[in-house]
Amino acid sequence: MVQQLAETELGLDAFTTSWYRVISKTRETPDTLTIRARPINGQALSFKPGQFNMLYAYGVGEVPISVSGDPSNRRYLEHTVRSVGSVTTALAGKRRGEYIGVRGPYGNGWPLEEAEGRDVAIVAGGIGLAPLRPAIYHIVHNRERYGKFYVLYGARTPADLLYKQELERWRGPLDTQFLVTVDRGDERWRGYIGVVTMLFKHIRLDPANTIAFVCGPEIMMKFTIVELKNQGLPEDQIFISMERNMKCGIGICGHCQLGPVFICKDGPVHRFSEISQFFGRREL
């Protein structure tokens, strides 16, 4: 019945897992790595920045993980996984040549077309940079389509920063203001120290012409939205990526329901004005 519903609505078998072979892994932080994998049947790869896949570790379970790679790359998929539970630990433990199941991509993604011609402010906290990385790639590859480009990124310590080599590369161009901060610096750290919201004092957004993409723990997003509003951004120009306990990926099981929306189907990216009354509510 559920299978039939999914086939009718989506025109595909949304529950079919495709098998991917792990081709490499990159250690990002002590507990986080990026898995690069290629489909064993040679199927075409396509996803929108901000979408997620259900990754399956055989015999252990399935978890939703955002696609974190370059959307213009059609050769392999990248997912950045933090080992926090049995499934993510099993996925992180996969060696080169071993298999992982992939179901998806699901969700809507970041509104990159709506942002064309406007300034874009990206704010990421911790592993929240992973779902935003494809959007950064897209904007960097299509820089002429966008106005001013700001990226604010915060992590606990320098060791907790993701994609360190790319951070260096992305910080180079003069047409991008890419600010990175950590909560605790050491004697080798040469950048800002303080939480990511403190970086707002270094930028001045044009509220009429800026779209903001925000991803991180909800507490971080809560205070980031306060700063964006302080700079004059209306709620309908702020987009956040929500995380909930997603299971089916297509809005049937109800595990990820937040008020009237299903995070997996209607999100994970939401215009803040559409969910602000539910955001941060204790009982939801």
Partner 1 sequence: MEREIDITTLISDHPFTKDLPEEKRAELAKIAKITRFTAGQRIFEEGEVHKRIYLIVYGIVALYFYIPAKGEFRYETISSGELLGWSSLVEPFKKSSGAVAVENTLALSLDSDKLLRMMEEDKAFGHAVYKKLINVVADRLRAARMRLLDIYGGGG
Site residues (CB under 8 A) for partner 1? 82, 84, 124-131, 154-156, 160, 181, 183-187, 189-198, 201-202, 215-220, 223, 243
First CA to last CA distance, the chain? 28
Task: Give the shortest CB-119-to-partner 1 separation in angstroms.
Answer: 21
Nearer to partner 1, 74 or 204 (CB): 204
Task: Give the shortest CB-193-to-partner 1 separation in angstroms.
Answer: 4
Nearer to partner 1, 120 or 130 (CB): 130
Task: Give the shortest CB-110-to-partner 1 separation in angstroms.
Answer: 15
Q: Which two tokens stand for residue 62?
A: 């399935």
Nearer to partner 1, 216 or 249 (CB): 216
CA distances in angstroms from 244 to 49, 59, 181, listed in the order given? 18, 23, 26
Task: Give the shortest CB-198-to-partner 1 separation in angstroms.
Answer: 6
- Contacts with 146 (C-beta within 8 Å, 6 or more apart), sequence order: 115, 116, 117, 118, 119, 120, 139
Task: Give the shortest CB-82-to-partner 1 separation in angstroms.
Answer: 7
CA dist 85 and 231 (Å) reads 38
Nearer to partner 1, 195 or 253 (CB): 195
Which of 108, 128, 110, 111 is closest to 251 using CA atoms?
A: 108
CA distances in angstroms from 21 to 77, 78, 94, 131, 171, listed in the order given? 10, 12, 10, 22, 33
Nearer to partner 1, 147 or 185 (CB): 185
Nearer to partner 1, 29 or 146 (CB): 29
Note whether 119 and 210 are within 8 A (CB). Answer: yes
Q: Which two tokens stand for residue 40?
A: 């064993």
Note whether 239 and 221 are within 8 A (CB). Answer: no
Task: Give the shortest CB-125-to-partner 1 separation in angstroms.
Answer: 5
Note whether 269 and 238 are within 8 A (CB). Answer: no
Nearer to partner 1, 57 or 214 (CB): 214
Task: Give the shortest CB-203-to-partner 1 separation in angstroms.
Answer: 12
CA dist 125 and 13 (Å) reads 34
